Structure 1
Amino acid sequence: MKTLKYIIIIISYLSLSASSCKKDNTGIDALPAATQEGKNTFGCLVNGEVFIARTRGLFGPPYFACEYGFNSVTNSLRFLLKGTDSIREPFSSITISSTGISLISGTKLNLRELKDGNANARYSETLIDEFNTNAISKGEITITKLDESKRIISGTFWFDAVNETGEKVEVREGRFDMKY
């Protein structure tokens, strides 16, 4: 009799525990919040799937990078934003960059082909398959905050990019809040 009582209690506990499980967020709800505080966040949807800059464990490679300033090699301003999701299969990264473009809060840049005076974007899978913006497959990045004294840059982005065989990738709902 005691055994039956304990079984009923355990089954009741497990039932209540299972029904109170929190569902994992998916889609846009799984992305980091669009903040402007230098929280070092980077996320978007790639073909509708969640992409968040992150790595496995404590000893993985850096999973994000952000630079903005004068580059003495090119003798011009340079902006670089990179997020890597090494948990995602396949391992993938997104890079947005520009050369020779001064940024201020509210700046909206078209993402096009890679050349001086343009901003461009690239999505890479496993360092082999690269998708790039170009004259036809374009996008946009908006700088929502640039605080040069605190070295914070935040914004949003979206783009379409193609690889050498013409396959297309759609990156949507992008957001970042980085220290540089």
Structure 2
Amino acid sequence: MNLSHLKILILIFLPILILGCTVNDDDGTGDALPPVTTQGASTFGCKINGQVFLPKMKSCFLCGWPEEMRLSYFQSGNIYRLGINAYNDINGDVSMHLDLYLDEPLAVGVYELSESYIASIDKTWPNAATNINRKINGELINSSFGTNSEITGTLEILEYNISERFIAGIFQFQAINQQGKIVEISEGRFDMKIY
């Protein structure tokens, strides 16, 4: 085979190798939760109805889907917003969202996860929500759940390190769907860099 044939073969197979997706079928439910840390370790985990939830994504180069976990913290006008998102798309989809809307800057302490009124959209929004489209402890769940004024939880900030740009904490909450079904989110922990 001469050099020009080799170049042609490389040009044919290179896009297939680059764009090909491999399926990672380890959804993390058999894993242990990461330890509670306060050092910017880039970790997130909790239990949903007693089953471990870890952010994980299928291996896919250039798929264009958001990261498996993300933490943002910023000020908009007089409101400070902390947003924590985690996603797992293996053997179904699960996403977790924690959102705090504060009148004062974030500090170490305990915050209630219930609901917030967002004036800019004239809507009440849950501070914690999860979308589940997979089996949880053998039960197929296909619904969205959120906190409200009666179904609540807590988020405790253990460390807010401005110079190293990370926030760490623990959380737990219950969330309800439109049919009245409740899911229990327990043993939550995160130690994430600010995006």
TM-score by length of 2: 0.70
Query: In structure 2, which of residues 163, 187, 191 is the aligned counterpart of residue 149 of structure 1?
Result: 163
Corresponding residue pairs, total: 150
Query: In structure 2, which of residues 164, 168, 173 is the aligned counterpart of residue 159 of structure 1?
Result: 173
Partner of 1:66 in structure 2? 71
Higher gyration radius (CA): 1
Q: Give percent identity, aligned residues only.
A: 33
Q: Which structure shows the bigger proportion of residues in strand conformation?
A: 2
Shift of 1:129: 2.1
The farther-off stretch of 29-38 and 161-170 is: 29-38
Query: In structure 1, which of residues 116, 125, 143 is the aligned counterpart of residue 132 of structure 2?
Result: 125
1:46-125 aligned at under 5 Å gives the runs: 46-59=48-61, 61=65, 62-71=67-76, 75-87=78-90, 89-101=91-103, 102-105=105-108, 107-116=109-118, 120-125=127-132
- Deviation per CA, 1:64-102, whole angstroms, max 9, x where unpaired? 110112125xx4211100111122x33101100012242
Distance 2:164 2:126 in 1: 24
Partner of 1:30 in structure 2? 32
Distance 2:98 2:163 in 1: 22
Counterpart residue identity of residue 116, structure 2: L
Counterpart residue identity of residue 129, structure 2: R
Could you tell me whether the CA contact under 8 Å between 1:98 and 1:119 is conserved in 2?
A: no
Could you tell me whether the CA contact under 8 Å between 1:67 and 1:79 is conserved in 2?
A: yes
SS across alignment from 2:117: coil
Counterpart residue identity of residue 68, structure 1: Y
Misfit runs of 4+, over 3 Å: 116-119
Q: 1:119 to 1:155 in 2, by over 3 A?
A: farther
Q: 1:58 to 1:90 in 2, by over 3 A?
A: closer
Structure 2 residues not aligned, in runs of 5+ = 1-27, 120-124, 134-141
Q: 1:51 to 1:26 in 2, by over 3 A?
A: closer
Distance 1:112 1:64 in 2: 22
